[in-house]
Chains A and B, each alone.
Chain A
Amino acid sequence: MKRSRLGRIWPNATAIVLFIGFVFPVYWMFNTALKPTGDILSEDPVWFPSSLTFEHFETAVNADNFWTLVRNSLTVTLLAVGLSLLVALGASFAIARMRFKGRRGVILVFMIAQMAPWEVMVIAIYMLVRDADMLNSLVPLTLFYTVMVLPLTILTLRNYIAAVPKELEESAMVDGCSRVQAFRKVIFPLLAPGLMATSLFGFITAWNEFPMVLILNKQDQAQTLPVWLYSFQSNFGNDWGATMAAASLFALPILILFLFLQRRAVGGLTSGAVKG
């Protein structure tokens, strides 16, 4: 098919406009975080800062409790992802490889659990946690985040396990492996990309979670980074440099993880998803 010159130009032009549209907010966050206050509060925006400064990052890092909250966020997120992987491994293996009564029901339970509107249930969760005298603790957060990411973890892992040819496992068993050994030595190593994709999305969900921690942990020391970032702006007024530095610090781990794992993860989540 021959395409006119115009036909070759417009897709690229549109792509450039779209690229700018999607990247600009991210760029502007880093741009503002790194340029001197004089450039931020100028009548004409400074698109490309002439000098860089880390002063805003210092303000953000030295804000009250920052490092405590970093630790809180990391603890809650990593524990939730780890726990859900542990619990999901057995369940997804059962669903992917075994036939048993009630299998369909189990899959449905996880599919519906995956759509659970947690945002709407925070009031009930607040009452439960309060009745257990566990407000301002990281334990309920960890447990609820675990269950929040569990259904997706199970359903995604199930697909990765199902994708490992059954013959590999069977031949290992013919060679004298027990079923557990076959799983550990044959399936598990092949699951690495699956585990990475699953943990990536679990990590993002837990790292991002906002309404629950907002209502459960009101104490400064017990919060996580989303609440910190949310209240940062009101505490620091119109210090946009510091606010953007805070946002950058919060976003950076995810941006890095995503750029590294995205190809594999998106491939894993989408290829084959639509073929069926």
Chain B
Amino acid sequence: MSVQTERAKTAPGTAVRKSGGPPKGGPHAKRKGASGSLLPYVLLLPALATTLVFLGWPMVKNATLSLQNVNRRQLIRRLTEWTGFDNYEATLKSEEFWRVVGRSIVFTGVNVILIMGISTLVGLLLARLGKKMRLTLQIGLVLAWAMPIIAATTVYQWLFAQRFGVVNWVLDKLGWHSMADYNWIGSQFSAFFVITLLIVWQSIPFVALSLYAATTTIPNELYEAASLDGAGAWKSFTTVTFPFIKPFLFATTFLEVIWVFKALPQIFALSEGGPDRLTETLPVYAFVEGVGNQHYGMGAAISLLTILVLLGLTSYYLRIVLKQERDEL
């Protein structure tokens, strides 16, 4: 997911600039215009239809499901019991739900700040390194990036294992003897620590590598001009580098918000939301309530509210994207 992103954001401009403009003359110019009226729709139909069916339908189903009472009994007997907004009322009135909302937002915020901060530093470091060292670090980043989520989660469980885990051994050797047999998923804070480390470790490579790629497009003359004007390292960063990478950072931050906020496999596989459901973020909460506890209608209501929270968190970005699209197309 994290990859797709800012490409889409900036791309429309380039695409339009190339295909836009007055149609060039030529023998086919006229005919093309006529056949072009239907052809694009025919080409688009399969893509739009499949998206509508397999994405739109579940969305609608989610909405109707959230207005029903579907538990184990109703599920097995295939009963439909409409309950109006009961599921929403129960959810919004429960303290647990709001605790999870707060937790999800803090969790997302901490992760995104760490990811963006460290990635920026790593990206700038890549630009400063010599050729060999840069390639070495790039290979390291790519390896971490490529690790499949569940494989990485399993490895982190082993690194932080209570017995024979490397991390506990290192901490013990460093003189922190109480950590020798520490159970990392035994408390809310330490479980979140491991999950955060895993997510940050997995997310940095994409951002850092893209950021480095972006800095290579900055014309060297700008730096020369800056240093002629007597700018130091910091000054040339704030006046040359930063303005160049700002749009990228802005877009990526919001995409990381989306990505971190809906991270489910990492948390689910690492701690299953425990201990005592204290590491459940909204997607995990919906999953556990809906599927685990078999309150499907309730789970659907939480899902919908989760999507609303996500929309709220990213609304600023979405508005800018929409505006940009309108201006550019």
- What string of 1s and 0s marks CB contacts (under 8 Å) between B134-177 and chain A? 10110111111111111110111111010110100100000000
- Report yes or no: B210 in contact with A273, Cβ–Cβ below 8 A: yes
In the complex, which of the residues A22, A41, A91, A251 contacts B46, with contact meaning CB atoms closer than 8 Å?
A91
- Report yes or no: A240 in contact with B213, Cβ–Cβ below 8 A: no
- Report yes or no: B14 in contact with A162, Cβ–Cβ below 8 A: yes
- Report yes or no: A127 in contact with B61, Cβ–Cβ below 8 A: yes
Kindly list chain B residues whose C-beta atoms are within 8 Å of the C-beta of A271. Answer: 213, 217
A168 at the interface (CB under 8 A from B): no
- What string of 1s and 0s marks CB contacts (under 8 Å) between B35-54 and chain A? 01101111110111011001
A240 to B130, CA, bound (A): 38
- What string of 1s and 0s marks CB contacts (under 8 Å) between B113-150 and chain A? 00000000010010011100110110111111111111
In the complex, which of the residues B14, B28, B54, B227 contacts A1, with contact meaning CB atoms closer than 8 Å?
B227
A258 to B209, CA, bound (A): 14
- Report yes or no: B151 in contact with A259, Cβ–Cβ below 8 A: no
A235 CB → nearest B CB, Å: 13
In the complex, which of the residues B146, B164, B296, B329 contacts A255, with contact meaning CB atoms closer than 8 Å?
B146
A125 to B286, CA, bound (A): 14
A201 CB → nearest B CB, Å: 5
Count of interface residues, chain A, beta-carbon cutoff 8 Å: 114
Which of B94-102, B185-193, B264-272 faces chain A?
B264-272
- Report yes or no: B148 in contact with A144, Cβ–Cβ below 8 A: no
Contact residues, B1-50 vs A (CB, 8 A) = 1, 3-15, 18-20, 24, 26-28, 32, 36-37, 39-44, 46-48, 50
* Interface SS majority for chain A: helix
- Report yes or no: B141 in contact with A174, Cβ–Cβ below 8 A: no
A208 to B265, CA, bound (A): 10
A69 at the interface (CB under 8 A from B): no
B242 at the interface (CB under 8 A from A): no
A104 at the interface (CB under 8 A from B): yes
With most chain B CB atoms within 10 A of its CB, the pick from A126, A210, A254, A273 is A273
- Report yes or no: B148 in contact with A254, Cβ–Cβ below 8 A: yes
Task: With A120-B283, A226-B150 given, name 19 new contacts (CB 8 A).
Answer: A26-B144, A99-B36, A100-B41, A117-B258, A117-B306, A120-B282, A146-B50, A156-B4, A163-B18, A204-B148, A238-B161, A240-B161, A243-B158, A244-B155, A250-B151, A258-B142, A258-B146, A273-B210, A274-B6
Mark A residues whose CB is within 8 Å of B: 1, 11-12, 14-15, 18-23, 25-26, 28-29, 32, 40-42, 44-45, 87-88, 90-91, 93-100, 103-104, 106-111, 113-117, 119-128, 130, 143-144, 146-147, 150-152, 154-156, 158-159, 162-163, 166, 170, 173-174, 179, 201, 204-205, 207-208, 210-211, 215, 226, 229-230, 232-233, 238, 240, 243-244, 246-248, 250-251, 254-255, 257-259, 262, 266-267, 269-276
Q: Show 10 residue pairs from A and B whose CB-CB distance is below 8 angstroms, ordered by the A residue.
A: A87-B47, A98-B40, A113-B55, A150-B47, A151-B4, A244-B155, A251-B148, A254-B148, A258-B146, A273-B10
